[in-house]
Structure 1
Amino acid sequence: MRLLALETATLAGGAALLDDGRLVGEIRLDIALTHSERLMAVVDQLLQDCGCEVQSLDALAVSIGPGSFTGLRVGAATAKGLALALEVEVAPVPTLDALAAILPFADAPVCPLLDARKGEVYCSLYRWGATGMERQWDYLALPPEEAAARLEAPVIVLGDGVAACRPYLARLGEGLREAGPVHSVPSPAVVGALGHAILAAGGGIPAERLAPLYLRPSEAELKARRA
């Protein structure tokens, strides 16, 4: 199965191509400077570099959030347009899952923390077991102090939301480990790997059903409600 994966939920996103679960190529880019046309240019460049025609794609995977509202809309629209044109399924990959999966078979619970702005972080908690990664919490949007209060040592934290939580995590002492800046955002390749597993398990969906996971209303929606 030839799979194109898109990650646009965070500031450092991009695209990856996988063939039967094996990474063939990956391109990263600054989503903060990106619109849909540039993302498609990256997809075209990736396919060209890998010697692959877009018509040969069997499925797509896309990071659905939570994350940047603008980035999620760009990723979902691009994935939906390609999937409709190619008549293939899409694997919706939660962004927090993709971030946690950067640390396979970690020896302690893993808590990805993404900056949600407006004084909140997106978070969840995962444990690795014999059958793989298991999510322990719902996907949450919380103030940093509330997210930190839910954690117990030992725990590994990662993501661009760690800085906001750090003052409240000090109580965990040596039981707290930070994965470091190299693991601050999910990679397109990991989105592809999780997407491949979703599709193999029959979890692919038609393009028409693809929708971002926002967790909270956008600023435009809040303004509309107040109007």
Structure 2
Amino acid sequence: MKLLAIDCAANLCAACVYDATAKQELGHQVLDLGKGHAEQLMAVIAEALEASATDYAGLGAIAVSVGPGSFTGLRVGVSTARGLALALKIPAIGVTTLEALAAEAAAAFPGRAVLAALDAGREEIHAAFYDERLVLTYGPAAATLADVVAMAKETSPVLAGTAAALISASARLAAAKGAGERPKPLYMRGADAKPQAGFILSRQER
């Protein structure tokens, strides 16, 4: 069976044709866009099909990245996959970004647990933990960096994803520092929020 995979979860607008029977990629096309997935995706798919010498009629399924990722990119990718699947009367299959990262890491480091993690910004990590058999045991979930670092220190998994370097660095620093004072926020400037003068009540004399 030939499968068309679509990924618009992040900056990339990508499509790949994969032969599930032969277990090999037949052709792909990737654009690093940042934005504009809706305008480019169908052309990217057409080029992937051409590179693989396959047409829509030769497909047996559509796979699509369902996130975490860019809201707009995910919407474009998922709606396109569902539309194509409906028109071709074939299944549409969702795959999370974290699953894909974990599978890639597990192939490179067989027999190791995997922590797939994406830096979501605003001090938030999107993470999922997979055991040595690639069975999901945690997540997908939004977590703090401290929580994910603690998980990494406890299990020593393979780290995969955009937050991997951040987690690894934090874990190394924490190990070097050891136990000490309780962590406190490091504020580099004062709070933005200040009382509004018009709402300050005058002190009543008694």
Q: Tell me by how many angstroms 1:11 deviates.
A: 2.4
Distance across 2 between alignment mates of 1:14 and 1:172: 39
Q: Tell me by how many angstroms 1:33 deviates.
A: 3.1
> Which residue of 70, 80, 98 corresponds with 2:100?
98
Aligned twin of 2:7: 7
Aligned twin of 1:149: 150
Distance across 1 between alignment mates of 2:111 and 2:80: 37
Greater RCO, CA 8 A, separation 6+: 1
* Runs of at least 5 residues in structure 2 that lack an aligned partner in the other structure: 177-206
> Which residue of 118, 121, 124 corresponds with 1:114?
118
Task: Tell which structure's C-alpha radius of gyration is larger.
Answer: 2
Q: Secondary structure at the match of 1:148?
A: helix
- Please report the TM-score for the alignment, with normalisation by the length of structure 2: 0.75
Q: Tell me by how many angstroms 1:113 deviates.
A: 1.1
Amino-acid identity (%): 35
Q: Given residue 135 of structure 1, which amino acid in structure 2 is its aligned partner?
A: L
Aligned 1:9-88 pairs, distance under 5 A: 9-19=9-19, 20=21, 21-88=23-90
Conserved 8 A contact 1:153-1:172: no
* Runs of at least 5 residues in structure 1 that lack an aligned partner in the other structure: 174-227
Aligned pairs, how many? Answer: 170
Q: CA RMSD in A?
A: 1.9
Q: Given residue 8 of structure 2, which amino acid in structure 1 is its aligned partner?
A: T
Conserved 8 A contact 2:26-2:51: no
Q: Tell me by how many angstroms 1:31 deviates.
A: 4.3
- Please report the TM-score for the alignment, with normalisation by the length of structure 1: 0.68
